[in-house]
Amino acid sequence: MPAMASPPGPPPCPFCEIIAGRLESSPVYEDDQVVAFLDINPVTRGHLLVVPRAHAARLSALDPGTGASLFAVAHRIALALYAADLPCEGVNLFLADGEAAGQEVDHVHLHVIPRVTGDGFRIEASGQQPGRPELDATAGQIRIALAADIG
């Protein structure tokens, strides 16, 4: 039998495929706005992703109320990780928005990563040492953008 041709267009979003039940996952939570399932390449055991049901590639496209739900569910799951029978002495919440920030899957997702001392997971960065004038100028630029957003 000849091989089936792939449908034209970009590959489907893997997280939408999981939500639709067309791609397997190991789920831990779902409600009407948000689902959570284990990351397929966990950096530690229990590493999972909290994902809005409605596709939004970037934070700029995410409904703010859904964003709040995303954090609320991640908060709840973090507490469950401490209580679960898994190694968990600490938790990282991590969200990469945009390619420059390391986003690989273009469907907003919040990583919840259980941590233990010496687990080897590191984010490499060296802190800069700007003076107070630069800190104040930067804060001013962000305040202007926030004020414009609030109106």
Site residues for ligand 5GP per CB under 6 A: 14, 23, 25, 37, 39-41, 96, 102-105
Query: From the candidates 47, 55, 75, 109, which is the catalytic residue?
Result: 109
In angstroms, what is the minimal distance from the CB of 132 to ligand 5GP? 33
Q: What does the alpha-carbon distance between residue 96 and residue 11 come to, in Å, rounded to a whole number?
A: 21
DSSP characters over 20-61:
TTSS---EEEE-SSEEEEE-SS-SSTT-EEEEESS--SSGGG
Q: Rounded to the nearest whole angstrom, what is the least distance from the CB of residue 18 to ligand 5GP in the complex?
A: 6
Task: Choose which of 73, 91, 107, 108 interacts with Zn ion (CB under 5 A).
Answer: 107
Shortest Å distance, C-beta 107 to Zn ion: 3
Select from 111, 116, 91 the least CA-distant residue to 101: 111
Q: Is 13 in the site for Zn ion (CB under 5 A)?
A: yes
